[in-house]
Amino acid sequence: MNDSILIFDGDCMFCNRMAYFLAKADKKDYFKFVSSISEKGKQIIEENNLQEMVDKTVIVRVEEKFYFKSQAVYHFLKISKTFPIFRFLIWIFPTFLTDFFYDIIARNRKEIIKSKCPVPKPEIRRKFL
């Protein structure tokens, strides 16, 4: 069983939509998606002392190792084999630079999308814990 997960800010419409978009893109079901405000999300955050990070970044766990910010995005793209051009761009630039751009989006994420999220189809919903 694959234990790779992506933890996203459940209070943020942008984050919810991105999680839905990435779940659809993850055709081989490499990842499960967990809202930070769900019981499972809270449990994972608490057990791994991630409280300080959860409001600042998407969190990706691959093989019991956690990744944050642009490295979380990179590892999601690498494992799921999606969006190779974005994966390449994150790979060629230094982490401090990709994290800088990640932080700009993260600071403004709640202003980017304010509308309601679509209800996921059952085949996508099963990817969410």
Residues 6+ apart with CB under 8 A from 43: none
For the segment 20-72, what is each residue's pLDDT rounded down to a tens digit? Answer: 999 999 999 999 999 999 999 999 999 999 998 888 899 999 999 999 999 99
Greater confidence (91 vs 124) lies with: 91
In contact, 50 and 44? CB cutoff 8 Å: yes
d(CA 105, CA 111): 10
So where are the chain's domains? Answer: 5-125
- Of the candidates 116, 97, 121, 127, the one whose C-alpha atom is nearest the C-alpha of residue 32 is 127
- Over range 100-112, report the average pLDDT: 87
Tokens of 10: 């459940």
Give the ranges where 3-94 is alpha helix by DSSP (H): 13-25, 39-47, 69-80, 84-92
Q: Is the pLDDT confidence value at 14 over 70?
A: yes
